[in-house]
């Protein structure tokens, strides 16, 4: 009984160590220039897509293993390697928001709401009071 429990524990630890090592290896292999050269990117838009994908990996929105395995798969295609990479990554993206960010970049920041009348009046009053000390000094 103890032998089975010990063998399961050893198997579990080995699985964790190997999966962690694979994740670190995948992260080490994600070099933008290497990916661009291997996929034969020719347009700035293609380079931007690769850069956005790697930025999403750094932000934690996309896994390094997903990008790396898609890169390996696309690199094995005979023609249109980048198009295979792009389509594969879009299909394997974890959410629609990540897919949208891959295609169009990060969403623009939310616009600031317009100031209310009260806020505008208070801002004017504050600006007048900030000018007063300097006016007092001039009059002395």
pLDDT tens figures, 53-98: 999 999 999 999 999 999 999 999 989 999 999 999 999 999 999 9
Domain ranges of the chain: 31-107
* Of residues 74, 80, 31, the one with CA closest to residue 53: 31
* Of residues 37, 59, 61, 52, the one with CA closest to residue 86: 52
Query: Whole-model pTM?
Result: 0.60
Distance of CA 1 to the CA centre of its chain: 47
pLDDT tens figures, 35-61: 999 999 999 999 999 999 999 999 999
Those residues whose C-beta lies under 8 Å from the C-beta of residue 32, and which sit 6 or more positions away, are: 50, 51, 54
């Amino acid at each position: 009984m103890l032998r089975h429990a010990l063998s399961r524990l050893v198997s579990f630890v080995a699985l964790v160590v190997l999966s962690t090592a694979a994740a670190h290896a995948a992260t080490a292999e994600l070099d933008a220039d290497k990916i661009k050269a291997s996929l034969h990117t020719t347009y700035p838009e293609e380079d931007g897509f690769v850069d956005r994908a790697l930025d999403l990996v750094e932000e934690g929105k996309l896994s390094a293993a997903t990008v790396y395995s898609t890169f390996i798969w696309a690199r094995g295609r005979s023609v249109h390697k980048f198009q295979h990479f792009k389509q594969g990554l879009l299909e394997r993206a974890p959410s629609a928001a990540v897919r949208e960010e891959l295609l169009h970049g990060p969403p623009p920041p939310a616009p600031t709401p317009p100031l209310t009348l009260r806020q505008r009046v208070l801002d004017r009053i504050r600006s007048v009071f900030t000018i007063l000390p300097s006016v007092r000094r001039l009059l002395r």
